Amino acid sequence: MMSEPCILLKERQVSQDDVLLRISDLTLHFKTYHGVFRREAGTIRALDGLNLEIRRGRTLGLVGESGCGKSTMGRVTLRLHEPTGGRIVFDGQDITHLHGNTLRQLRPRMQMIFQDPQACLNPRMTVGAIVAEPLNEHVAMDRREKEKRIRELLDSVGLNPRFASRYPHEFSGGQRQRIGIARALALNPDFIVCDEPIAALDVSIQAQVVNLLKDLQHQLSLTYLFISHDLSMVRHLCDDVAVMYLGKVVELAPRDLIYKDPVHPYTKALLSAVPIPEPKIERARQRITLKGDVPSPADPPSGCRFRTRCPVAFDRCASEEPTWQKMADGRWVACHRAE
């Protein structure tokens, strides 16, 4: 049974803005080199003018094909990568170019749950030491307070506190992911990036982890960025959904709106691939099959990035990049057909 939310480790200045995280025109370009003398060969546009907002206490689902920049976006948001351009505003503070001690002081408020629970846990450390690592770095606690906090954290994610002396290899995949969640919660963060936290788990365990994340969000008033390929799970967990394609967000809308009435052709294609557990509807509906491969981020198409695979593209799509605009129903979309 989950324990009550723990007392915050420190008081925080809370902005009155409903938006906790606001990202504007964010770019991240990696230079490529070749030859013995490492001459510059080109640029990989991992993120290229990305825009989105995450409201306080809500979950934003980030979906898209592999290689579109979802995980990179999560890491840049936490300042694990240095952005090339744009702005990252967290709780009213511009953190785009923070460094040193100023950035370190912000770290406790922004945490990450990684995709592979086995790879992200040190096999030579006990569970207690793994969970205590953030406390050692950021909080002054004596041994007794630290042990109490570890027990609280393990209990909050559904693990027996007596497991603190065990090692990661003694746990199942689902239990290891719970350890990773406990570590992310150690400093009472406001915002957590969940980078495909259920992708490496058995289907029977995925629902348990997702329900745990929902329960913790309600208890601790957390805000999530939930990165996933599983559109059914995104629908179950998330309040808003952002769709990425080749380094850009092409549509952002509340969950019910985007699943009921998608506007961008790429969003429509993604949702058409989600199975419907009703045989008659499943047989009658039309699937949208995209032709060709995703273009290289080192050489993206002119105009609209999606035009080379879009079934409704026209001449303007090749010559003019669509603007990121807000629709009458409140959604954001970048598509000439939506104007």
Answer yes or no: are the C-beta atoms of 130 and 179 closer than 8 Å.
yes
Q: How sure is the predictor about 38, in pLDDT bands with cuts at 50, 70 and 90?
A: confident
H-helix or E-strand spanning residue 211: helix 203-220
C-beta neighbour count of 146 within 10 angstroms: 17
Residue 220 lies in a domain: yes
Percent of the chain with pLDDT strictly greater than 70: 94
pLDDT at 264 over 80: yes
* pLDDT at site 282: 67
What CA–CA distance (Å, rounded) separates 244 from 23?
14
H-helix or E-strand spanning residue 308: none
For helices 127-138 and 143-156, the axis angle rounded to 10 degrees is 120
Total of domains in the chain = 1
Residue 246 lies in a domain: yes
* pLDDT at site 40: 81
Residue 44 lies in a domain: yes
Q: How sure is the predictor about 42, in pLDDT bands with cuts at 50, 70 and 90?
A: confident
Write out pLDDT tens, residues 275-329: 777 777 667 777 888 888 889 898 899 999 999 999 999 999 999 999 999 999 9
Residue 1 lies in a domain: no
* pLDDT at site 9: 42
**Count of positions (residues) in the chain:** 339
What CA–CA distance (Å, rounded) separates 247 from 23?
13
C-alpha dist (Å) from residue 8 to 157, 188, 189, 318: 17, 6, 9, 52
What CA–CA distance (Å, rounded) separates 131 from 151?
10
Residue 331 lies in a domain: yes
Determine the average pLDDT of the residues in 68-90: 94
Strand pairing partners for 191? 110, 223
Answer yes or no: are the C-beta atoms of 50 and 305 closer than 8 Å.
no
Return the residue matching tokens 């995949």: 173
Q: How sure is the predictor about 331, in pLDDT bands with cuts at 50, 70 and 90?
A: very high
pLDDT at 46 over 60: yes
Write out pLDDT tens, residues 183-241: 999 999 999 999 999 887 888 888 889 999 999 999 999 999 999 988 989 999 999 99
Residue 9 lies in a domain: no
pLDDT at 4 over 90: no
* pLDDT at site 158: 92
Return the residue matching tokens 């990305």: 50
For helices 143-156 and 173-185, the axis angle rounded to 10 degrees is 130
- At 93, the amino acid letter reads Q
SS3 at position 209 = helix
- Cα torsion angle, 28, 21, 5, 228, sign: negative
SS3 at position 89 = strand
Residue 145: give its domain's CATH number: 3.40.50.300
Write out pLDDT tens, residues 130-146: 999 999 989 888 889 99
What CA–CA distance (Å, rounded) separates 25 from 85?
7
Residue 6 lies in a domain: no
Model-level pTM?
0.89
| Residue 65 structural domain | 19-338
Residue 4 lies in a domain: no
